[in-house]
Amino acid sequence: MDPVQLLRTAADRLDALAARTLPGDWRTSGLLATRPEVVAHLPDGSTEHVAEARAATGAWIAALSPALAAPLASWLRAAAAHQPVAPAAEAFARTLLARLP
């Protein structure tokens, strides 16, 4: 598979995975027993505990595991070295920074 096709395939798979995962803005809301309580805030204003949607979210959590941290950081550094910065890289970085403590 050539690099362009590889990137497109990976992007398509991430889109498909996200489409079948509980949507919304996921936020931690304290502890549920001894585990973090993660609540999805949906566009219609309702909320749903992510744990209640485990079947739909397990693949998303596994796909975006900490194993992606190094490759994503490398991509951001590489994107930063090229001017102008790609809008997608900038949007990703802004979203990521908004989610990180």
Q: Which residues contact 43 (CB under 8 A, 6 or more apart)?
A: 23, 24
**The length of the chain, given as a count of residues:** 101
CA–CA dist 84, 38 (Å, integer): 36
By residue range, what is the domain housing residue 28? 1-64
Confidence (pLDDT) at 71: 92
Regarding whether 54 and 23 lie in a shared domain, the answer is yes
Question: Exposed, middle or buried, 21 (CB in 10 Å: 0-12/13-18/19+)?
Answer: buried
Regarding whether 70 and 59 lie in a shared domain, the answer is no
Regarding whether 12 and 53 lie in a shared domain, the answer is yes
Confidence (pLDDT) at 5: 84
Regarding whether 57 and 12 lie in a shared domain, the answer is yes
> How many domains is the chain partitioned into structurally?
2
Confidence (pLDDT) at 101: 67
Confidence (pLDDT) at 27: 82
Amino acid in the structure at residue 15: D
**Along the chain (101 residues), what's the average pLDDT of each consecutive run of 10 residues?**
82 89 83 79 89 79 83 94 92 89 67
End-to-end CA distance of the chain: 37
